[in-house]
């Protein structure tokens, strides 16, 4: 029972790729790449945009107080 040449090549490529992935993972663990996964999430924040406070105006958020009052008045108005 013999494998065709294409099958042998595919198995060889899969083994080499798996070995490269394992070497990359071992390197990442040894150089402490997984030590603090949450630190990168807080790097983007500073005094102008503190953690937990949305300051962007993307899609109209945060809305101004004036526009909120107008929307509330529109919702409660009764028309006959």
Q: For 27-76, how does the pLDDT look when each residue is reduced to its tens digit (9 = 90+)?
A: 999 998 888 887 777 777 777 776 767 666 666 655 555 555 555 555 55
Report which listed range, 5-9, 19-23, 37-41, 42-46, is most confident: 19-23
Question: Per the domain annotation, does 21 fall within a domain?
Answer: yes
Helix (H) or strand (E) holding 34: none
Give ∠ CA 17-8-10 in degrees, rounded to 5.
40
Cβ contact 80:74 at 8 Å = no
- pTM tops 0.75, yes or no: no
| Residue 19 counted as domain residue | yes
What is the domain extent for residue 60?
5-73
What is the helix, strand, coil percentage profile of the chain, to 5? 55, 0, 45
Whether 20 is covered by a domain: the verdict is yes
How many other β-carbons are positioned within 10 Å of the β-carbon of residue 13? 10
> What pLDDT score was predicted for residue 71?
54
Give kind and range of the element (H or E) at residue 31.
none
Q: How many domains does the chain have?
A: 1
């Amino acid at each position: 029972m013999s494998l065709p040449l294409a099958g042998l090549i595919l198995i060889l490529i899969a083994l080499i790729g798996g070995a490269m992935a394992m070497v990359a993972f071992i390197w990442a663990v040894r150089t402490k790449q997984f030590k603090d996964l949450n630190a990168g999430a807080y790097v983007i924040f500073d005094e102008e945009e503190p953690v937990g406070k949305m300051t962007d105006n993307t899609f109209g958020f945060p809305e101004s107080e004036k526009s909120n009052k107008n929307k509330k008045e529109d919702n409660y108005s009764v028309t006959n």
